[in-house]
A and B are shown apart, each in its own frame.
Chain A
Amino acid sequence: MHNIWIIAKKELKRYFTDFRMIIGLFLPGVLIFVLYNAMGSIINNVESLPEEGIIYVENEPEALKNLLDGTPFTIKRSDTKLSKEAALDKLQNEEIDLYIIYEEDFMQKVQNYQVDSGEVAPAVQIYYKSASTKSEQLYTTYLDALNNYETSLSNKFDINKDQNINYDVTVTSDIFQELIATILPFLLLVLLFSSTMGICAESIAGEKERGTISTLLVTPIKRSELAFGKILAISITALSSSVVTFLGVITSIPKLMGGYASGVELYHPVTIILVLFVIMMTVLLFTTILTILSTFAKSVKEASSLAVPLMMIVLFVGLMNFGIDAHANNFVLYLIPIYNVVQSLTSLFNNTINPINFLLCIISNLGYVILGVMLLTKMFKNERIIFNH
């Protein structure tokens, strides 16, 4: 027992006196606390966020016009008179979020209806598009409100009763697109990060650990050239891996979805090129951040440990995208590194990208990369960092 304790004491001293190891051991826990709290706040904010919904209602009873009061939605009504076909088209194109049809003189019919009379109850039809998060949320909210009202009237009307009508106007390609827009940004983010992480850790920290960096530093090259050369090589390698991954994902996921369509068929070639552009910027951004961490680390193992908190941030940011449409009007979000990538990819895969947002994402990330390279050059000139003094 005595010897066991001596061994254990030595090991514990090793673990708990190494600052970097302590960071690696406990920072994830702290980060989880911080991130989950942040995530909770964001989800609550999203839930309570007043959103504008556009609805088109036929024969809307005066008494039901305020049905959605007290919900997070601000309702705007489309006043233009539309045919049923035109209204469904607009819903399909997401120009309106709900299309509701009340029978003529609905309230009168409800009032006159006797539940046990055996007659057909007055009906309400609510058309929606489940592929649009807003439309689906608005549909659920409206349905709940209408159900409550119906209950208060002892079930004197029916909602979406006809089994032969598909009230959800979503077509298969919409479902597919929605699925891609939800999953692919997260998947790509994780794949890009993991493919970059290994190379970066090895590239600088590996050289420092093996002592090969000093051999390079006594040649006439400038330290900035060394930094740029490293980033270039890592980026090319990570980018090749990412492009192959991207092609694999875009061509295989549809097959898994039942052979409906290929990703290439679903998106315009320009969209695919823009996605690749975002991927390239993301790889550059990850390369720069991870190279900085790798330069700071004394060994490959330490560089990998230092990358763990960053990986958690990437996972968290990627997960934030699930079930939430990209914010089209909040420009500031397209300036936040990593988050702007998720926003841009989601918009691109949803075919709803705003060119200004896209440019903001690319330019801001390019700016972060330039700042990172400047910092890296400074770090390469710092002998305490390079030689681990």
Chain B
Amino acid sequence: MVEILKIDNLTKKFKLSAKQRKINKTTDTYKVALNGLHLNAYKGEIYGLLGPNGAGKTTTLRIICTLIKKDQGTILFDGINLDDKPALIREKIGFLTSELKLDDFFTPNYLCDYFGALHHMKKEEIKERKDFLFNKFGIDKFKEVKIGNLSNGMKQKVALVVSLIHDPEIIIFDEPTNGLDVIASKIVIDYLMELKAAGKTIIISTHIFSLVEKICDRIGIIFDGQMAIEDSLANLTKNETLEELFFRLYEEKGGDLNA
């Protein structure tokens, strides 16, 4: 197995404003989001990142995508340090999260051209990718309709296509089926499997156990900014289901299911 993503001792603290301290009823100046997190992902696998709200999943993904900076730790992409070549890393990544929005004023067609150009793609390459992805996700029908006039599901599909326009090596999806109907969800899941078969690495963050059990090769469960467990799905679910494992670990880490 070729290690494509290696994260060691990742730490991130967010400074709390006076207002946030009041809301959280704390006197601490900082909130620890990640506390020495380790993560390893291999080429050609689908990696599932699980954890309760506030555990640090989204923060981890945002740091990997260089949207925010880490405080400590190292992140290696295919042996390249993220600190040394962040722009190169961004070229290799396709990132999709519900926080990424598209400008209502433009059409899917224009936005794909725009983001393709920002990824240094040639016009012919962009056209080829657009033809393929538009056909795959049924965007052809509304490719010239402004984003503002599309339904949420359509917008989500366009965002997905925009994140994949440059044919990234690593695809990072935060809740990949969020906002999609069952048909669109199936298309996305099937496409993720195709990407995996093509040797791409996919990291997804989700709350849906069934999705993880269906598509993931390996999983990592995060509690309080630390990796509680990381292994192949097969190894982890030998004696218990994924859901049982998750809640057992949650309680072992001091979580209260009756709270």
Q: Which of A218, A220, A222, A384 contacts B67 (CB 8 A)?
A: A218
By beta carbon, the residue of chain B nearest A217 is B67
In the complex, what distance in Å separates the CA atom of A207 from the CA atom of B106?
Answer: 13
Are A211 and B99 closer than 8 Å at their CB atoms? yes
| A252 sits at the interface (CB 8 A) | no
- Tell which of B38-46, B115-123, B124-132, B232-240 binds the partner: B115-123
In the complex, what distance in Å separates the CA atom of A376 from the CA atom of B95?
Answer: 25
Q: Could you jot down 25 A-B contacts, CB within 8 Å? A: A210-B101, A210-B104, A211-B99, A214-B67, A214-B99, A215-B100, A215-B101, A215-B102, A217-B66, A218-B66, A218-B67, A218-B90, A218-B100, A219-B115, A219-B119, A220-B87, A220-B90, A220-B91, A220-B119, A220-B120, A222-B87, A383-B67, A384-B15, A387-B68, A389-B14
| A212 sits at the interface (CB 8 A) | yes
| A221 sits at the interface (CB 8 A) | yes
By beta carbon, the residue of chain B nearest A216 is B118
Leading 8 A-B pairs by shortest Cβ distance: A211-B101, A219-B118, A220-B87, A215-B100, A220-B90, A383-B68, A220-B91, A218-B95
User: Contacts A220-B119, A220-B120, A384-B15 hold; do A212 and B103 have CB atoms under 8 A apart?
Assistant: yes
By beta carbon, the residue of chain A nearest B14 is A389
| B65 sits at the interface (CB 8 A) | yes
| B222 sits at the interface (CB 8 A) | no
Which residues of chain B from 80 to 105 have any CB-CB distance to chain A below 8 Å in the complex? Answer: 87-88, 90-91, 93, 95, 97, 99-104
Residues of A at the B interface (CB closer than 8 Å) are 207, 210-212, 214-222, 383-384, 387, 389
Minimum distance in angstroms from B30 CB to a CB of chain A: 12
| B253 sits at the interface (CB 8 A) | no
In the complex, what distance in Å separates the CA atom of A384 from the CA atom of B65?
Answer: 17
Q: Give the residues in chain B near A222, CB-CB below 8 Å.
A: 87
User: Contacts A383-B69, A384-B15 hold; do A221 and B118 have CB atoms under 8 A apart?
Assistant: yes
Q: Mark interface residues in B108-120 (1 if CB within 8 Å of A CB, else 0).
A: 0000000100111
Number of chain B residues whose Cβ lies closer than 8 Å to a Cβ of chain A: 27
By beta carbon, the residue of chain B nearest A17 is B19
| B139 sits at the interface (CB 8 A) | no
Besides A215-B102, A220-B119, 18 other A-B contacts (C-beta < 8 A)? A210-B103, A210-B104, A211-B99, A211-B101, A212-B102, A214-B67, A214-B100, A214-B101, A215-B115, A217-B67, A218-B67, A218-B95, A218-B100, A218-B163, A220-B87, A220-B118, A221-B118, A222-B87
Minimum distance in angstroms from A322 CB to a CB of chain B: 41
By beta carbon, the residue of chain B nearest A226 is B118
By beta carbon, the residue of chain A nearest B162 is A215
Q: Give the residues in chain B near A216, CB-CB below 8 Å.
A: 118
